Amino acid sequence: MMRTRPLKVALLGCGVVGSEVARIMTTHADDLAARIGAPVELAGVAVRRPDKVREGIDPALVTTDATALVKRGDLDIVIEVIGGIEPARTLITTAFEHGASVVSANKALLAQDGAALHAAAGEHGKDLYYEAAVAGAIPLIRPLRESLAGDKVNRVLGIVNGTTNFILDKMDTTGAGYQEALDEATALGYAEADPTADVEGFDAAAKAAILAGIAFHTRVRLDDVYREGMSEVTAADFASAKEMGCTIKLLAICERAGDGASVTARVHPAMIPLSHPLASVRGAYNAVFVESDASGQLMFYGPGAGGAPTASAVLGDLVAVGRNRINGTTGPGESAYAALPVSSMGEVVTRYHISLDVADKPGVLAQVATVFAEHGVSIDTVRQQGKDGEASLVVVTHRASDAALGGTVEALRKLDTVRGVASIMRVEGE
């Protein structure tokens, strides 16, 4: 039986995502009411520019005083899509204090202060849901938090930023250079005027922190995530990848150590075999590959950004939180019971692809191989090409720690026969 008293919802932010949330709430009002068990009423919309025309939204609902809105005391749910750390953090905690549950898409805030936000929600007996914070419309947070709650997740490997995947895909399929591909992404609206958050991995690192925390029942903050951008990836790197039967993706990688005693979270470009499902993810799409004990390998794929896809995830949370509200319950909160230590990048073990510029003369390969052996890094394959006294040497290692590889490269730079290290790239996804 449907409750007649509506659930009152406030919307903080009415940009690309917020306007889509408001539109779908209006156009799908009957369906949402049927799914939740009560009508949903948009009770207020907090914005920075009140004079802007917002189609389908009653101007009387619009306010610039977000604090007063969340303090009303009669709200059931606050939807936060303004992003950033402040004032979002204060507005969310104020909403809890005044009786509202919260649905958020704020990856940066959750990666930095997720534990404190969960604590505030728990203190006041309210929900904090954030499916839209990672990978847009792709159902990912809820499967990790609920569907796989009885399993042991060992690894989460994913493409979680559409802008970077579009750029790398263009470089791969057309032979374009980095700047040319970035310019096209900007022209098409995939990249911001300042693309730093995307191409330097900040966006993906925030998502990796959230995913690692949920997957491993351990608090992982943004500062715990190793981050490396992709602006140094070249056409030559893609040529080398193709010779190995690989492509290059900017990956978010969260994994348990082999002994299960620690976890790591990292974001960086990596070569990945063409046989791996993530290698076929094209354009601005996202995909996340999950490996667990009982379920084996699972892949989640779809649009990872944009107004409508992200709004879909927000509204899925709205339905779940609305049902909880009606039933007088709350959903899962933070699960950090495992409290595993987060290892440094130096302890991460993986394969490496190293391209060296060397002198084209006898004995160079032997010198290089000796340096690798002295640092305990085993070589898988070597390829050498030479012309006019100069040569390139491409070494692919077996699995080695980042610290061991770092010491190897430092020693290689000291050899008279090594002119320079052209590129170093990890090889993942085996």
Query: Is the Cα dihedral 82, 83, 84, 89 positive or negative?
Result: positive
Q: Which of 8, 126, 207, 249 is catalytic?
A: 207
Q: Tell me: the pLDDT tens digits for 386-414?
A: 666 678 899 999 999 999 999 999 999 99
CA-to-CA separations, 271 to 211, 319, 396, in angstroms, rounded: 22, 40, 11
If you search the block for the tokens 């056409």, which residue do you land on? 235
Residue 427 has pLDDT above 70, yes or no: yes
207 annotated active-site: yes
Q: Which element (helix H / strand E) includes 46?
A: strand 40-46
Cα separation of the two ends of the chain: 52
CB count in 10 Å sphere of residue 200: 18
CB count in 10 Å sphere of residue 202: 19
CB count in 10 Å sphere of residue 193: 5
How many percent of the chain have pLDDT more than 70?
A: 99
Determine the Cα–Cα distance for residues 308 and 392; give it in Å rounded to an integer.
48
0.75 surpassed by pTM: yes
Determine the Cα–Cα distance for residues 223 and 206; give it in Å rounded to an integer.
9
Residue type, 348: V
Q: Tell me: the pLDDT tens digits for 203-235?
A: 999 999 999 999 999 999 999 999 999 999 999
Using DSSP's 3-state secondary structure scheme, residue 162 falls into helix
Determine the Cα–Cα distance for residues 401 and 299; give it in Å rounded to an integer.
27
Nearest to 265 by CA among 225, 232, 236: 225
